[in-house]
């Protein structure tokens, strides 16, 4: 159990670092992302970002599985 918790912690730190780097390069504000704004309400659907991340992760896991 301790090894699993350490692995999860390291994975969360890596995810946080990748998230901040992705924002610097425009990830999360792609043309296919949908944003609705009305008054004080903002609804955000990151469709293009989700598709791009899904494609990248699929390629990475395919390469690791090979």
| Range 2-29 average pLDDT | 85
Neighbours of 40 (CB within 10 A): 5
What average pLDDT score do residues 3-29 get? 85
Return d(Cα 63, Cα 37) in angstroms, integer.
40
pTM of the model: 0.60
Q: Where are the domains of the chain?
A: 2-65
What separation in angstroms does the CA of 38 have from each of 35, 41, 43, 47? 10, 5, 9, 20
Tens-place pLDDT, residues 26-52: 777 788 889 899 999 999 888 988 898
Q: Mean pLDDT score of the chain, rounded to an integer?
A: 88
């Amino acid at each position: 159990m301790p090894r699993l918790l350490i692995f999860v912690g390291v994975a969360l730190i890596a995810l946080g670092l990748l998230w901040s780097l992705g924002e610097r390069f425009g990830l999360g504000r792609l043309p296919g992302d949908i944003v609705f704004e009305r008054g004080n309400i903002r609804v955000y659907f990151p469709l293009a970002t989700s598709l791009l991340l899904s494609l990248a992760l699929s390629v990475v896991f395919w390469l690791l599985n090979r």
